A and B are shown apart, each in its own frame.
Chain A
C-alpha cells in the first residue's frame, strides 16, 4: 500500500485534479447554458418539448460513442480535454435544463398572480419569486448532473483527455486491479463528496411552506 502510494500518489493527485477540472468546466458551461435556456423555455413554452427532447436524446447517446463521434469535428478534435468538456456539458445539460423548467413551472400560479398584481416586472418576478422558490429543484438537477459528469469523465481518458479514467484504463489493460482501484476510488469519492455538498445546499435552499 505504502509503496503503491509512493509510486502512484503524485499521479493520483494530478489526475484527480484533472478530473475535477474537466467536471467543473463542463458543469460551469452546462449551468451557463442550461439555466438561462430553462428560464427561456418557461417564457416560450412551445419550445420546451423539442428542446428538452433534444437534451434527452443527447443523454441517451453512449458516452464512449459520443467521444468517438466528436473526434473528427474540426475545432473540437484538436484538443482532447476540450472535446471531453463539450461532451460532458451535453450530459449535464438535461438535468439542469429540465429541473429549471419544471422548478419554475411548478411555482404556485397564485403566487405568480400576486407577483403580477404587485406590479413586478418579468425580471423582478424571476429573481424575487420564481428562482428562489425553484432553487431547491434546480439544485437537485445540478446535483444529478454533477454526479453523472464525474462518472462519465472517467470515460474521457479513452480519447486521451486525462482524468482518473486514465488509471482505470491502464489498470484494465495491464490486468492490475490496484491501478483500477486507484482510479475508481477517488472518482467515487469525488462523486459522493459533490453529492453531499450539493445535497446540503439543496436542503438549505428549500422553502418551508407549512
Chain B
C-alpha cells in the first residue's frame, strides 16, 4: 500500500462573485484525488478545465472554497503558509526566473530565504544545477537573459529541487519550448525523477509528455475528473473524453 503524498478531498472552487451579487463561476467541482508519494501524476485537459487552479491549491496559492487538500496527511489550511510553500517545489512556464538575479541566486533562493549559510547554499546549488544538467561553474553567474529557454527551465527546476521538497508542482513546465528542446528536457526530467523520487503533479496539454513522464494520467474537464488511468490504458480506452483527446492529438498521424 503506497503512502499518500497529496490528497484532494471533495475540493471545489468558485471564483469570488461580482459586486452585483452574482455568484462567481465554478472552476472545480468536488474533485477527489490521491497522489501516491513518490509518483508522478499528469493532469490533462483543455485550457480552463481547472488544472492550474487544482495545482495551485497544493501550495495554497489558491484556497479551496470547500473540501480540503492534504499534503503529507495534513490539511493545507492547518499549515503555516510559508513553511508549507517552502516544502513544495514549484515550476512554471518560461518567465519564472527573477530577471535581476544570477542563475546561482535564482536556484538558491529558497535556501537564502531559509537563512542558510552561503557556503551551504553554494554546495547545494552546484548539486541541483548538476541534477538539472547544468554545469555550476559555467552557468552560476549568468542572468536569465543570458540563458536559452531550455537552460532557464533547468535553472527553474534546480530552484524547485533546492530544498529537497517532498512535493513538486509543475505547471506546463516545457510549454514554451521548441519540440526538440522539450524532448531533451523530458528525457532529463524522467531520469531525474527516477533518481529523486518526488510526489509530482504535472499540468500539461501534451499527451505524449504525460504518457512519457507520469505513472498516472488524470483528465479534467469543466472542473471534474473525467478519467483517471495509467498511461498504458490511454490509447484504446473506451472513455469518450479520453478517446476524443487521443484522436485530436494523433489526427495527423492516423490520417
Interface residues of A (CB under 8 A from B): 108, 110-111, 113-114, 116-121, 124, 128-129, 132-133, 207-210
Asked if B218 lies at the interface with its beta carbon under 8 angstroms from chain A, I say no
- Closest B residue to A133 by beta carbon equals B100
Q: Are A118 and B86 in contact (CB under 8 A)?
A: yes
Which segment, of B33-41, B89-97, B200-208, faces chain A? Answer: B89-97
Q: Are B98 and A209 in contact (CB under 8 A)?
A: no
Question: In the complex, A201→B60 CA distance in Å?
Answer: 39
Known: A117-B59, A118-B85. A209 touches B90 (CB 8 A): no
Known: A129-B98, A133-B99, A207-B100. A119 touches B86 (CB 8 A): yes
Q: Are B61 and A117 in contact (CB under 8 A)?
A: yes
- 17 residue pairs of the A-B complex, CB under 8 angstroms, read A110-B95, A110-B96, A111-B96, A111-B99, A114-B98, A117-B61, A117-B85, A117-B88, A118-B85, A118-B110, A119-B81, A119-B84, A124-B113, A128-B98, A133-B98, A133-B100, A209-B144
Known: A117-B85, A210-B145. A110 touches B113 (CB 8 A): no
Question: In the complex, A83→B59 CA distance in Å?
Answer: 53
Q: Are A111 and B98 in contact (CB under 8 A)?
A: yes
Known: A119-B83, A119-B85. A114 touches B113 (CB 8 A): no
Known: A119-B110, A119-B113, A121-B82. A209 touches B145 (CB 8 A): yes
**Would you call the interface of chain A mostly helix, strand, loop, or mixed?**
helix
The residue from B90, B96, B109, B143 contacting A208, defined by CB atoms under 8 A apart? B143
Query: Which one of B88, B96, B100, B143 has the greatest number of beta carbons of chain A within 10 Å?
Result: B100
Q: Are A119 and B100 in contact (CB under 8 A)?
A: no
With a cutoff of 8 Å between Cβ atoms, the chain B residues found around residue A207 in the complex are 99-100
Can you list the 3 inter-chain pairs with the closest CB atoms, starting with the nearest? A119-B86, A119-B85, A117-B90
CB contact list, B58-79 vs A, under 8 A: 59, 61
Q: Are B90 and A118 in contact (CB under 8 A)?
A: yes
Question: In the complex, A208→B99 CA distance in Å?
Answer: 7
Q: Are B85 and A111 in contact (CB under 8 A)?
A: no
- Closest A residue to B94 by beta carbon equals A110
With a cutoff of 8 Å between Cβ atoms, the chain A residues found around residue B82 in the complex are 119, 121
Task: Name the distance in Å between A81's Cβ and chain B's nearest Cβ.
Answer: 40
Q: Are A114 and B99 in contact (CB under 8 A)?
A: no
Q: Are B145 and A208 in contact (CB under 8 A)?
A: yes
With a cutoff of 8 Å between Cβ atoms, the chain A residues found around residue B110 in the complex are 118-119
Question: Can you list, as one digit per residue, whether each of B44-61 has a CB less than 8 Å from chain A (1) or not (0)?
Answer: 000000000000000101
Q: Are A114 and B90 in contact (CB under 8 A)?
A: yes
The residue from B83, B88, B96 contacting A114, defined by CB atoms under 8 A apart? B96
Task: Name the distance in Å between B145's Cβ and chain A's nearest Cβ.
Answer: 5
Q: Are A110 and B85 in contact (CB under 8 A)?
A: no
Task: Name the distance in Å between B42's Cβ and chain A's nearest Cβ.
Answer: 20
Task: Name the distance in Å between A130's Cβ and chain B's nearest Cβ.
Answer: 11
Q: Are A209 and B99 in contact (CB under 8 A)?
A: yes
With a cutoff of 8 Å between Cβ atoms, the chain A residues found around residue B88 in the complex are 117
Task: Name the distance in Å between A135's Cβ and chain B's nearest Cβ.
Answer: 9
Q: Are B109 and A118 in contact (CB under 8 A)?
A: yes
With a cutoff of 8 Å between Cβ atoms, the chain A residues found around residue B61 in the complex are 113, 116-117
- Closest B residue to A135 by beta carbon equals B100
Question: In the complex, A209→B110 CA distance in Å?
Answer: 22
- Closest A residue to B162 by beta carbon equals A118
Question: In the complex, A209→B100 CA distance in Å?
Answer: 8
